Structure 1
Amino acid sequence: MSNFTVRKAKKEDMVHIMKKIIELAAFEGYPEGPKITASDLERDGFESDCPYFFCIVVEQDETNKIVGYALGNYAYSSWTGRAMYLEDFYVDPELRGLRLGHKLFKEMCKMARDTGCHRIDWHCLVDNNLATKFYESHGAFDVCKAESRTCYRITNDEILNIANL
């Protein structure tokens, strides 16, 4: 069996991360969803004085192939203070069941602990039962159900319309 290492992503990993982002989008049924490029990831995560995201990867030791990743950013909660938002969490489908997701999730929780974050938030597709089971096995709960909340978003067109009023 292969050995795997979980580590912080490097700038040169972003080409591979972009491929994984596209794989995740296709898995979720949105193959045309991602609008960014590997260059955007390099710029925003590694060429900025204040990086816009963090990324950790699971790498297969023998091949140095990235087989999973978690990408997120730091946030702030008026209730708990420092927080993290997890944008993507993905392990190659053929390697699921090897506890690589657990290793990746554990490393993310260590990052949260080490940076003083008191919570991690994320979204999950309602019909992704495998992910729901995984997250709940790690103590996660559905905020929409538990706190009677819903989730909203505005995109660039609305942002520009409102900003230009």
Structure 2
Amino acid sequence: MPSSPLLRPATPADVPVIRELIEGLAEYEQLRHACQATDALLQASLFGERPYAEVVLAEWEGQVAGFALFFHNFSTFLAKPGIYLEDLFVRPALRGHGIGTALLVHLAHVAVQRGCGRLEWSVLDWNVDAIRFYEKMGARAQDAWTVYRVTGEALTHLASGVS
């Protein structure tokens, strides 16, 4: 009988492996140059005084195989919270064992359990494997929406009130 992944909430002791998985995702997405995650930043953001996100780790045959990092958002139209999946990553050598599916099913369960109206995420348009996977799970692209982002100096400039 094939193994199934063990899912568990991350703990502060998992910070180094969470960072390692984030770096693996950054490599896969060809964005390693943009990855600034450190153990200290993750410790503060995930397990500090005000945790901003949650992490579920997937273990396969005794090793951490992947993760899902998520946080709550809010739908004004539904007047309900939602879950935003920031990252879902399975180590390339361990793909094909149902680990990504288990993580996504788990998050859907968490969303339903917490009374959320939706579970959503973004995917790079070139990542056809991920797109196929998500569509197989019942997800549909929201093509009418365009994501905007302000970071770095542009964020600081905007915060100063200068246009």
TM-score by length of 2: 0.92
Match of 2:60 in 1: 60
1:56 & 1:33 partners in 2: Cα distance?
Answer: 23
Runs of 4+ off more than 4 Å: none
Contact kept, 8 Å, 2:57 with 2:67, in 1: the verdict is yes
Match of 1:32 in 2: 33
TM-score by length of 1: 0.91
Aligned-residue CA RMSD (Å): 1.4
Match of 2:93 in 1: 94
2:120 & 2:106 partners in 1: Cα distance?
Answer: 15
Contact kept, 8 Å, 2:12 with 2:43, in 1: the verdict is yes
2:132 & 2:4 partners in 1: Cα distance?
Answer: 25
2:52 maps to amino acid: Y
SS in 2 for 1:88: strand
- Residue by residue over 1:106-150, the C-alpha shift from the partner in whole angstroms, topping out at 9 and shown as x without a partner, is 111111111111111211011111100110011111102xxx221
1:2 & 1:137 partners in 2: Cα distance?
Answer: 22
1:17 & 1:45 partners in 2: Cα distance?
Answer: 10
Match of 2:130 in 1: 131
Q: How does 1:78-93 map to 2 (within 5 A)?
A: 78-80=76-78, 81-93=80-92
Q: CA deviation at 1:45?
A: 1.2
Match of 1:162 in 2: 158
Match of 1:19 in 2: 20
Contact kept, 8 Å, 2:81 with 2:116, in 1: the verdict is yes
- Residue by residue over 1:78-127, the C-alpha shift from the partner in whole angstroms, topping out at 9 and shown as x without a partner, is 11221111111001111111111111111111111111111112110111
1:110 maps to amino acid: H
Paired residues, what number?
A: 159
